[in-house]
Amino acid sequence: MRDVLLVRFGEVHLKGQNRPYFLRKLVSNVRRAVEDIGGHVWLADSRIYVSQAQDMAQCIERVCKVFGVHSVSPAVEMDKDYEAIAAQCVEMMRGKTGSFKVNARRSDKRFPMDSMVLQRELGGRILEAMPHLKVDVHKPDHVMSVEIRDFAYLYVDEVMGVGGMPMGTGGRAALLLSGGIDSPVAGWSIMKRGVQVQGIHFHSFPYTSERAKQKVLDLAAIMGEYAGNMLVHVVPFTEIQLAIHEKCPDELGTVLMRRYMMRIAQRLAQKNRCQALITGESIGQVASQTMEALVCTDQVVDMPVFRPLIGMDKLEIMDIARKIGTYETSIQPFEDCCTVFTPRHPCTKPKIEDLIQAEQALDSEALIQKAVEETQSVWVK
């Protein structure tokens, strides 16, 4: 008898002939998540199992953050001996109060008792040992689960995972990563679909501090807990912002800045074999996120731009940020480049022809090329 984690997966079941590929990726990602704490990972009979971890609580936390994992149960693995199984069920229910039911599943049809008989007999043994409990098959307080496979697996608790698709099965994309609440949530949402995400951060030193840059790297580290690690490209953006501020109409400054960000992001994305860009924009949240402004920013790139938060309100986004662990870091009061040189009265309905005219005052190619060449790339783990 030994302690193991029983790991379930969801959408991977739907992949038909491609299922083995997705399962290999998922097993590899689970193995990577627990290898430094001694976890042994294997796949058998439509389940992933983890054993031998030095800290099982930490192991559960890590496995639940692996995209593709639906849920995790700390279980006892034991021989398929009915009397031993019954005794262990009683022991695992000891100290419980309220109602319960037994949920049995017999995958090994050679076991002499079918699922219904197991449920009835084990339930009776538990009631005999603990008559204060009540049986409730519809809404029980506790579920004593027994799975008969190559071994018998017994568990009571089920911890929900993040779900989604295994990392590395959905391509690669680049996230415009600020220090705010929205962009980490946007990146996480696309990562959940199996996409490997790189961050692109625009840093306006000395108007934005080193602590502001570190805040972004801290956010990337939190996101990396779900992805194993994360590559962040830090782009020097001060020169471009100063040029826009000095030579272009003030009310167009924010949208012009976003257009240059998108141009630079596309070049870095292509350089790093990314297939799409990701932003944290939501319609109408700020002046640069009106429908007209978004059309103007998309006009300068020709690769797909994913905006998973586009129809969400701020409270919904904040709830997700809290759930994934980025919120407390995002609200730290360090400035980012989007707050530098903000117009007093930004244009909310810009026209593309006006923006193109304003950009004639700038040596766009030289500014973009210099920013790309001076970009620093950092692996965050």
| Axis crossing angle, helix 210-227 with helix 182-191, rounded to the nearest 10 | 20
For position 95, what pLDDT does the model report? 92
DSSP 17-41: GGHHHHHHHHHHHHHHHHGGGT-EE
Task: Compute the Cα dihedral for 78, 79, 85, 91 and give only its sign.
Answer: negative
Angstrom distances, CA of residue 43 to CA of 5, 31, 104, 192: 12, 11, 21, 22
Q: How many CB atoms lie within 10 A of CB 78?
A: 16
Contact 144, 122 (CB under 8 A): yes
For position 161, what pLDDT does the model report? 96
> CA-to-CA distance for 261 and 366, rounded, in angstroms?
14
The tokens for 253 are 């400054």
For position 243, what pLDDT does the model report? 95
Q: What angle do CA 105, 111, 115 make, to 5 degrees?
A: 30
Helix ranges (DSSP H) in 65-114? 82-93
pLDDT in tens, the chain (381 residues): 899 999 999 887 677 788 889 999 999 999 999 999 999 999 988 889 999 999 999 999 999 999 999 999 999 999 999 999 999 999 999 999 999 999 999 999 999 999 999 999 999 999 999 999 999 999 999 999 999 999 999 999 999 999 999 999 999 999 999 989 999 999 999 999 999 999 999 998 887 888 889 999 999 999 999 988 899 999 999 999 999 999 999 999 999 999 999 999 999 999 999 999 999 999 988 878 899 999 999 999 999 999 999 999 999 999 999 999 999 999 988 766 566 667 778 888 999 999 999 999 999 999 999 999 999 999 997
Contact 200, 233 (CB under 8 A): yes
For position 344, what pLDDT does the model report? 77
Q: CB-based burial of residue 139 (10 Å sphere; 0-12 exposed, 13-18 middle, 19+ buried)?
A: exposed
Q: CB-based burial of residue 246 (10 Å sphere; 0-12 exposed, 13-18 middle, 19+ buried)?
A: exposed
DSSP 214-229: HHHHHHHHHHHHHHS-
pTM exceeds 0.85, yes or no: yes
**Residues 6+ positions from 100 with CB-CB distance below 8 Å:** 93, 123, 126, 133, 134, 135, 136, 140, 141, 142, 143, 144
Of the candidates 198, 201, 193, 192, the residue with the CA atom closest to the CA atom of residue 173:
198
For position 247, what pLDDT does the model report? 95
User: SS3 for 287?
Assistant: helix
Beta strand spans in the chain (E): 2-9, 40-44, 47-51, 69-78, 99-106, 134-135, 142-148, 152-155, 159-160, 172-176, 196-203, 230-236, 276-278, 305-306, 376-380
For position 113, what pLDDT does the model report? 93
DSSP 336-365: -GGGTT--SS--SS--HHHHHHHHTTS-HH
DSSP 8-state secondary structure symbol assigned to residue 245: H
The tokens for 157 are 């608790």
> CA-to-CA distance for 181 and 333, rounded, in angstroms?
12
For position 339, what pLDDT does the model report? 62
Of the candidates 161, 196, 132, 190, the residue with the CA atom closest to the CA atom of residue 62:
161
